[in-house]
Structure 1
Amino acid sequence: TRRLIRSCQGSLRLILPAKGAEDGSHVNRVLAALGVRRLFEVYPDVTAALDEQASPLTA
């Protein structure tokens, strides 16, 4: 994990698969359990991830 954070210089954006951002989805539960959503910015789709004005999903 430290190597990944160092290599991306703290600006890694994760994009969820279709329906991955829905509450209770398997992807959402796994990312929350691993603590990924607290470590990285997670966006519901590519458009939101590329938009500098968009906010990441909450943990």
Structure 2
Amino acid sequence: MKLFHGTNIDFDNIDLKMSKPNKDFGQGFYLSDTRQQAEELAMARVELRNRLIVCYNYEFTN
């Protein structure tokens, strides 16, 4: 499963202290299963030249 995060900040580790507390579902690290939605969120935050899309690959095992 691929999940995407749209941002304007380059980072190596997820730090929940950096997230804003008054988001729709509270403070957290938001991901989307569609790259387009992550791009739209990144574009809403910054100019086109500064956006970053981070992709996470998760494999579920039983």
Query: Is the helix fraction higher in 1 or 2?
Result: 1
Q: Which structure is larger by alpha-carbon Rg, 1 or 2?
A: 2
TM-score by length of 1: 0.28
Greater share of strand: 2
Query: Per chain length, whose mean CA-contact separation is higher, i.e. which structure has more relative contact order (CA < 8 Å, sep 6+)?
Result: 2
TM-score, normalised by the number of residues in structure 2: 0.27
